[in-house]
Amino acid sequence: MKKQRKEIEMASKLDLNNDGKVSAWELFPYWFDKIRVFPRVFITVYIYIFWSCAEWFMQLPEPNNAQAGLVSVVVGAGAAWFGLYVNSSKSSVKITSETKSTSKSGK
């Protein structure tokens, strides 16, 4: 009984246009936030950049200070990004389906 009530309550919160149906467009923001798409994409892109940069640096016959500095910046940025990713939490999105009705009075 409690599970059904909770499901109905959740569905009513996700029904943004109050038509009694929860469409895919209404579910999209909820799931997009729940699976944290942006942080996962960013960390994946960083891993690729880091790997490419490390391979490039290791293949250099005689790396100079500027090239070593570039690798150092990429690694440092990754450490900062990873720290932010690990210490962040899922943002809580408050879904409200309240609509304000305004009445015009003849005053």
Which pLDDT value is given to residue 61? 96
Pull the structure tokens for residue 48.
């690729």
Arithmetic mean of pLDDT over the chain: 76
d(CA 39, CA 54): 22
d(CA 35, CA 91): 11
The pTM is what? Answer: 0.57
For the chain, the straight-line distance linking the first and the last C-alpha, in angstroms and rounded, comes to 49
The DSSP secondary-structure symbol of 19 reads S
Q: What is the pLDDT of residues 62-107, one digit of tens each?
A: 999 999 999 999 999 988 888 887 787 655 555 555 555 555 555 5
Task: Using the predicted structure, report yes or no on whether residue 44 has a pLDDT greater than 80.
Answer: yes
Helix, strand or coil, per DSSP, at residue 17: coil
